[in-house]
Amino acid sequence: MIISSWNVNSINVRLPHVLDWLGKVKPNVLCLQEIKCIDEKFPRQAFEDAGYHCEIFGEKTYNGVAIISDSKPDSVQRGFLGEKEPFSRRFIEAKFGNVSVLDVYIPNGQAVGSEKFFYKLNWLKALKNHLMTEHSPNDLLAICGDYNIAPEHRDVYDPVEMKDQILFSDEEKDALKDIQNWGLVDSFRLFNDEAGHYSWWDYRMNSFRRKMGLRIDHIWVTESLSKHCTQSWIDIEPRKLEKPSDHAPIAARFEF
């Protein structure tokens, strides 16, 4: 089973890239973030023609998530349960047999100390609450998506320059660590210890060619699912294409 994730920064702009990648990698599940369209505008037919099922939780112009899969999920949840005032459309969950896949687009936060920064921290608390109330660390569970947080120094091109900056502040890393302590493992770090692996590069300053990146896209899994993980990787090839997303797709393989 291959579970993958990609912040596409507009599915309608990036559709050819995504379909091409699906044809090459053939993941069983692809979690998309920042689709930037309402459900009715999602290019569902193109994915169905490629043999995939679509579960969408979209939003006009901003945000939006979707789970693309080669089989219909047994159940789907859009948004956190019991929300009186729902967060933006940043969370969708699907279950495939006994494997739960959570697709998250964690808020960016804009700047440390800003209103959007505290919104981000509250969103992380809501995610932690969802895990505690709806799941167990013993579940076969994966949280895939754009976390908008680089967890460690080795996940940023220049940790000194990034110190106290958005995506790498202590508050964000601590909030993410609190979620990890619930019972999650970074699948990428099961196989790759070294620094210099990134999943996002700013469009500006020629960042991709200068290797000025951050690893902010992740597939974190429970211990029980990590035992089945045989590979986890970042595919930077789509970032080299014309009009790419600023993120690269990531994937993990599981053997049962």
The whole-angstrom separation of Cα 138 and Cα 149 is 25
Residue 103 is among the residues annotated as catalytic for this protein: no
Strand partners, 221: 142, 185
The answer to whether the beta carbons of residues 102 and 140 sit under 8 Å apart is: no
Residue tagged active-site, from 52, 103, 139, 146: 146
In three-state form (DSSP H/G/I as H, E/B as E, the rest C), the secondary structure along 24-80 is HHCCCEEEEECCCCCHHHCCHHHHHHCCCEEEEECCCCCCCEEEEECCCCCEEEECC
Cα–Cα separations (whole angstroms), residue 95 to 27, 84, 113, 230: 16, 24, 36, 21
Q: Minimal CA–CA distance to 123: which of 78, 87, 150? A: 87
Token digits of residue 234: 């970042």
Please state, as a whole number, how many other Cβ atoms lie within 10 Å of the Cβ of residue 179: 21
Closest residue by Cα to residue 149 from 182, 179, 129, 126 = 179
Check if 105 is active-site.
yes
Token pair for residue 235? 């595919």
Catalytic residue among 52, 105, 147, 157: 105
147-160 in b/e form (b: 16+ CB < 10 A) is bbbbbeeebbbeee
* Residues carrying an active site annotation: 105, 146
